[in-house]
């Protein structure tokens, strides 16, 4: 239902109200259009007009960055066997702790905060001649944009290559004004521009192959063979907006079977989250049942007390839905054209940049299983916020949350 109908108001009042909604309340152009009855192109023209009339004043503020939480960093390093951890203190509203409905405006702000922290940290460890793998996503892009804004030379003679295929850059998803997931290829180009001299290698082609397509991911530069990165910058996602990364990048090109897989995944995640939020004892639990790393979708085993809950209106238990999600996730992952964590990323020095408490379980599975190599300690880095860090520390390292295979059985420990 529209809150303000500005279609028949005089132009001056319309311009002022649209400017207030955008710059005082932080609404996206899509949200403004929804609230006022205007179309998005009109909203964009009105905002431009507001600037021409000097109704809007832009000021550049150099951010000082968030304080780091040394105590949480030390605990995360110990519990997850990390080389290092960066934990920034943020307001609870940014981490959206205990919320089921995601405020994407606040989420964007958190990604920018994490990106600044990750950029500062990355500058301290990267070296000349480094080979850097880059994943997709808004948090990874925020890290790279923060590096570029610092106007410091990152390093010299680096090689940057994308860890996943896909041609999509930033675009709009629906009417919420939220940017689409940014492809690894575009992130690789941006990072290469931060170095004095860089060779950028992109993986061409679609991010998601059709059924029976034989293509697979191989890292090569000319005829020099396979490559291993010195560093890999990765984001961890959830299926919170309905689609995992691979579908957000190419959702308009999906074949009917893949589109049905996406809808199926979205519906089952919604059933599980709805069940949790309607249960007084479980409400606020930061459990999102599906995560993705480089578009490889993986379900997370539910915490104790939730698995046997019956979902409404399906009547199936959470565990039963997770088993079905596991089978769907396997089909999706088999069609993604990207580096497989279990094959390529178990060498040290992956920098995982991810935050917001809804990502707690996917981050946990990523660090404790997907990127874990046998017998190796202090392997990777994590950049996150303090609310997510506390939620991660509440998960017992002695009984880790495992992702599940297609039969619904947790994978065997590494």
- 57-61, 140-144, 231-235, 266-270: least confident range: 57-61
Cα atoms in the 13 Å half-sphere on the side-chain side of 158:
26
Rounded distance between C-alpha atoms, residue 382 and residue 384, angstroms: 6
Calpha distance 27→121 (Å, rounded): 31
| pLDDT tens for each residue of 139-161 | 998 999 999 888 777 888 898 88
Residue 236: band (very low, low, confident or very high) from pLDDT cuts 50, 70, 90 = very high
CB 291, CB 236: distance < 8 Å: yes
Segment 145-152 long-range contacts (CB within 8 Å, at least 24 positions apart): 145/115, 145/190, 146/112, 146/115, 146/116, 146/118, 146/119, 146/120, 147/119, 147/122, 147/123, 147/191, 147/194, 148/190, 148/193, 148/194, 150/119, 150/123, 152/123
Provide the pLDDT for residue 383: 97
Round to whole Å and give the CA distance between 205 and 222. 17
> Which pLDDT score is estimated for 198?
87
In the 8-state DSSP scheme, what is residue 368?
I
Query: What is the model's pLDDT at position 220?
Result: 44
Output the six-digit token pair for 211: 């059924």
**What is the token pair recorded at 179?**
């940017």
Q: How far apart are CA 380 and CA 225, in angstroms?
A: 25
All structural domains of the chain, each given as residue ranges with its CATH number in brackets, are: 11-52 (1.10.10), 70-393 (3.40.50.1360)
- What confidence tens digit (pLDDT) does each residue in 246-288 have? 455 555 556 778 778 878 888 888 888 888 888 877 777 888 8
281-to-138, 278, 284 alpha-carbon distances in Å: 33, 9, 9
Tell me how long the chain is: 414
pLDDT at 70: 92
């Amino acid at each position: 239902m529209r809150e303000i109908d500005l279609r028949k108001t005089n132009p001056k009042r319309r311009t002022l109200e649209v400017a207030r909604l955008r710059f005082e309340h932080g609404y996206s152009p899509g949200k403004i259009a929804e609230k006022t009855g205007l179309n998005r192109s009109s909203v964009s023209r009105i905002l431009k007009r507001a600037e021409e009339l000097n109704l809007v004043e832009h000021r550049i503020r150099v951010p000082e960055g968030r304080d780091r939480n040394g105590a949480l960093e030390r605990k995360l390093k110990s519990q997850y066997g990390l080389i290092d951890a960066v934990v920034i203190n943020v307001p609870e509203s940014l981490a959206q702790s205990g919320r089921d409905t995601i405020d994407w405006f606040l989420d964007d702000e958190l990604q920018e905060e994490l990106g600044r922290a990750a950029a500062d940290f990355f500058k301290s460890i990267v070296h000349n001649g480094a080979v850097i793998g880059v994943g997709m996503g808004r948090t990874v892009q925020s890290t790279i944009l923060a590096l570029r804004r610092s106007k410091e030379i990152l390093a010299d003679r680096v090689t940057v290559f994308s860890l996943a295929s896909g041609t999509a850059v930033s675009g709009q998803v629906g009417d919420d004004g939220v940017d689409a997931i940014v492809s690894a290829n575009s992130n690789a180009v941006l990072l290469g521009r931060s170095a004095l001299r860089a060779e950028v290698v992109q993986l061409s082609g679609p991010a998601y192959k059709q059924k029976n397509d034989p293509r697979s991911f191989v890292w090569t530069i000319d005829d020099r063979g396979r490559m291993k990165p010195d560093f890999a910058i990765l984001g961890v996602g959830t299926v919170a907006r309905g689609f995992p990364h691979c579908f957000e990048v190419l959702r308009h090109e999906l074949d009917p079977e893949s589109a049905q897989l996406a809808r199926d995944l979205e519906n089952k995640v919604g059933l599980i989250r709805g069940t949790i939020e309607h249960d007084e004892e479980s409400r606020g639990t930061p459990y999102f049942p599906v995560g993705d790393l480089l578009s490889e979708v993986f379900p997370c085993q539910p915490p104790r007390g939730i698995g046997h809950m019956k979902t409404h209106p399906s009547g199936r238990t959470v565990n039963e839905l997770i088993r079905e999600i596991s089978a769907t996730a396997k089909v999706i992952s088999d069609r993604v054209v990207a580096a497989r964590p279990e094959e390529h990323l178990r060498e040290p020095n992956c920098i995982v940049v991810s935050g917001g408490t809804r990502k707690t379980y996917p981050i946990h599975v990523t660090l404790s299983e997907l990127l874990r190599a046998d017998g190796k300690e202090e392997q990777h880095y994590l950049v996150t916020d303090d609310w997510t860090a506390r939620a991660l520390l509440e998960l017992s390292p002695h009984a880790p949350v495992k992702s599940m295979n297609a039969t619904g059985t947790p994978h065997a420990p590494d």
